[in-house]
Structure 1
Amino acid sequence: MTTSRMPSRPPRRWSGAVMALLLAALVVASFASLPLQFAAFFTAEAVSSVAEFIAGFAPPETGSGFLAKTAVATAETLAMSAVGTLLAVVAGVLLAIPAAGRFGRPLRGAVRAVLNVLRSIPELVWASVLLIAAGLGPFPGALALGAHTAGVLGRLFADALENATPLPEQSLRTNGATPMAAFLYATLPQTLPQMLSYTLYRWENNIRAAAILGVVGAGGLGQMLKYHLSLFQMQKAATVILAMLLLVALVDGASFWLRRILTR
């Protein structure tokens, strides 16, 4: 009579626990090192000041002339985000192909370093630099969005291309297809829905970023908001803020609807 042996217990891995402890220690150290004064937010003076400040925004400016200016600035912000995202998609695809290792590992590392530089510099910094070169207006704002977003999308596109199943492309190349044709007909269709989803998500982010870039002189709603806040014209600033919220909500809804269509 043979007795069945119980399966041995798998070795315990401590890496997850160690990582969790390190993250917890980092959070505790962050709170301990910052001079956080939460009690100051709830004093009578702070509550009164905030209430008085918020009351200054009501009611929003609804004059026809100002609403027309706000509509033009809204369209400018939307156009800035769309052009910046389009430029980023083109640059991201061109950089993603070598970043996915299609032309060798040395070029892969060099292009990925370029992508790291592009996305590590915030849009506001890109806009500040490009405003010096191109002047005030939405054009440098669109270029700033394109530069930063190209680094983000290029990295995401490259990862999607690397994670695609290689068998369809290999089959086409075995049967005589050129490398470019095999890539276009086998690998790209696999990753296209994911790449489109990334693009729509970044467009949502660029709407918000475009509204902020106007603060440094890139036009659109952000420039109007900075102007009216600097003059303490709070009711006009409230109208601009409402236009920002409406624009973001509309783009979020459109993007969600398009993503549902693409994933069916």
Structure 2
Amino acid sequence: MLSQRDPAALPRVLLTLLALALLWPGLVLSELNLAVLFDAGNLGNMGQFLSSFWPPAHDPEFLQLLAQATLQTLAIATAGMSLALLLAIPLALLATRALSISALPRGGQPAWWASALRWPVKGLLIVLRSVPEIVWALLFVRAVGLGPTAGVLAIGITYGGMLGKVYGEIFESTDLRPTRALLLAGSPRLSAFAYGVLPNAAGEILSYSVYRWECAIRASVIMGFVGAGGLGQQIDLSLRMFAGAEVASMLLTFLALVLLADLLSRWLRGRLA
């Protein structure tokens, strides 16, 4: 008779206990206390504020202000992504091994100096994406003042590092045989990239870029809380004035923006599939 005992039960239990043991210090350090949500005073304050969300504000003067803030949010996200692409594409080409002539199969080992030259570019990409965009926004607000310029620069720098890293990995994950054949035939690197790498990587690059544009919309709203313009700045002002109806209208608008970006991403994936 076969045993009904799971031989992997003990390792799973041990791994679960280890995960809980590692999670507990994190919960302690984060000072998580869910009991405050159910405090009578806090529940009353939250209930009073949430009750003011309905009906959402819809007077003409406010809707005009909301439309302007929404367009500004879209402009910040789009301009920031454009700046990020201007940074990411050249840096990704410099950091990737896909276009490395020294790595071509000519019977020898790749030159060590070719790899060493790529490390400063990879280091720059790490620096750009390591600092959160909200921190860059705070720095640029100090430098250029309040307004959408700080948000555009913050998104451009942070997302430039993110896109550069991912683009480089996408370039290296494609079939490199056409690219290497072109390079061995004496083709310039840009031509080898355009005809060897890009056709295989275009779909994945476009899909990830649209996803990052969706993230940029959310980031532009968050950065508005530090004075970078857009919907976030208006939400911050309405929260300070306890104008729940205005906050509800802006949250619904933000939800519509994210849904629009998601639909656009799905449509593009369907066209490229």
Give the structure-2-normalised TM-score.
0.83
Q: Please list every run of at least 4 consecutive aligned residues from structure 1 whose deviation after the TM superposition is greater than 6 angstroms.
A: 16-21
Give the Cα–Cα distance (whole angstroms) in 2 for the partners of residues 55 and 109 of structure 1.
55
Match of 1:65 among 50, 57, 61: 61
Match of 2:129 among 114, 119, 135: 119
Overall identity of the aligned pairs, in %: 38
Q: Taking structure 1 as reference, are residues 185 and 219 closer, same or farther at Cα in structure 2, changes over 3 Å only?
A: same
Aligned to 1:87: 83
Displacement of 1:180: 2.7
> Does residue 209 of the first structure (1) align with residue 219 of the second (2)?
yes
Q: Secondary structure at the match of 2:268?
A: helix
Residue 160 of structure 1 is matched in structure 2 by 170
Question: Judging changes above 3 Å, is the alpha-carbon distance between structure 1 residues 19 and 200 closer, same or farther for their aligned structure 2 residues?
Answer: farther
- Label 1:119 to 1:176 Cα distance change in 2 as closer, same or farther (>3 A): closer
Alignment of structure 1 residues 93-112 onto 2, 5 Å? 93-101=89-97, 102=99, 104-112=114-122
* Partner residue in 1 for 2:71: 75
* Paired amino acid for 1:178: P
The answer to whether the Cα contact below 8 Å between 2:147 and 2:227 also exists between their aligned partners in 1 is: yes
How much does 1:19 deviate? 8.4
In structure 1, distance between residues paired with 2:51 and 2:117? 57
Q: In structure 2, what is the Cα distance between the partners aligned to 1:116 and 1:17?
A: 37
Partner of 1:237: 247
Amino acid of the structure 1 residue aligned with 2:74: L
Is 1:30 the counterpart of 2:40? The answer is: no
Check conservation: 2:210, 2:261, Cα contact below 8 A.
Answer: no
**Residues 201 and 36 (structure 1), Cα distance of their counterparts in 2 relative to 1, 3 Å cut:** same
Give the stretch that moved more between structures: 89-98 or 48-57: 48-57
1:179 aligns with 2:189: yes
Deviation of the 1:132 alpha carbon: 2.1
Aligned pair count reads 248
Q: Which amino acid aligns with 1:94?
A: P
More off after superposition, 117-126 vs 43-52 = 43-52
- Deviation string 1:126-155 (CA, Å, 9 cap, x unpaired) is 111112222221122111111110011000
Q: Which amino acid aligns with 1:70?
A: L
Query: How far apart are the structure 2 equivalents of 1:108 and 1:17?
Result: 44
Q: Deviations over 1:245-264 (max 9, x none)?
A: 121111221222122212x2
Amino acid at match of 2:61: G
Structure 2 gaps of 5+ residues are 1-11, 101-113
